[in-house]
Chains A and B, each alone.
Chain A
Amino acid sequence: ETGVTQSPTHLIKTRGQQVTLRCSSQSGHNTVSWYQQALGQGPQFIFQYYREEENGRGNFPPRFSGLQFPNYSSELNVNALELDDSALYLCASSQGGYSNEKLFFGSGTQLSVL
């Protein structure tokens, strides 16, 4: 049922570079959340966007930023990449802003920072 699409699927960058990851939400969903999943761990909340505004943020530095567009798609931008940013980045869509129920995840973007 997911319907959430992310691009690209894999990406290799070098330390200090910038990256933009993209996400299209499932049809009918107006809220997008981004999570970082390091190897062997559960996903960690980065932030959520609802009605084109940031709706909540986890413990990530300001070099992690995002956008949501009128069609509810979203971007995650990471500046000044560090080696520890290597992870699977997951986008999830849902309805209702703060009502963070039944998140549906995409397959993620695997980012490797060398």
Chain B
Amino acid sequence: GESVGLHLPTLSVQEGDNSIINCAYSNSASDYFIWYKQESGKGPQFIIDIRSNMDKRQGQRVTVLLNKTVKHLSLQIAATQPGDSAVYFCAERTGTASKLTFGTGTRLQVTL
């Protein structure tokens, strides 16, 4: 249960505010990116993905932005809720590689 994120960077936001979680990826050849949410005791949960031929994609309350020039990915969560509290990971895929490479994660804490 306590296997995730004891010493991770932490972002603290108030309920109702917007959250922005950032991720720097490593490989300029990466063509696909995913954001996952991981709650304590659970596996990563898919949030949203984006291909490298796009720079923005929107889902329900979430937006992912991709800046290939500086190899940067961000996840924006609108009207953050207590249930959004978790560790968030970005992951990248390079070409036809069968693996995803995950970042180190950011803990999001939502305060009331």
| B99→A56 contact, CB < 8 A | yes
Is B101 close to A, CB under 8 A? yes
Given contacts A4-B43, A40-B7, A88-B3, contact A45 B101 (CB under 8 A): yes
- Contacting pair A102 B46 (CB below 8 A): yes
User: Would you call B46 and A104 a contact (CB within 8 A)?
Assistant: yes
Q: Contact residue range for chain B? A: 20 to 34
Contacting residue for A40 out of B8, B42, B97, CB 8 A: B8
Interface-located stretch among A14-22, A64-72, A75-83, A106-114:
A106-114
Q: Contact: B98 with A102, CB < 8 Å?
A: no
Task: List B residues 92-112 near A (Cβ within 8 Å).
Answer: 93, 96-105
| B44 to A, closest residue via Cβ | A105
Q: Is A58 an interface residue when CB atoms closer than 8 A count as contact?
A: yes
Point out the residue from A48, A50, A103, A107 that lies within 8 Å of B34, measured CB to CB: A103
Q: Please measure, in the bound complex, the distance between the C-alpha atom of A102 and the C-alpha atom of B5, giving whole angstroms.
A: 22
Shortest CB distance B40–A (Å):
11
Whether A90 contacts B49 in the complex (CB less than 8 A), given A33-B99, A43-B102, A45-B99, comes out as no
Which residues of A are in contact with B by a Cβ distance under 8 Å?
Answer: 1-2, 4, 33, 37, 39-45, 48, 50, 55-56, 58, 87-88, 90, 92, 97-108, 110
Selected A-B contacts with CB under 8 Å, 6 pairs? A42-B91, A42-B103, A43-B100, A88-B4, A103-B34, A110-B1
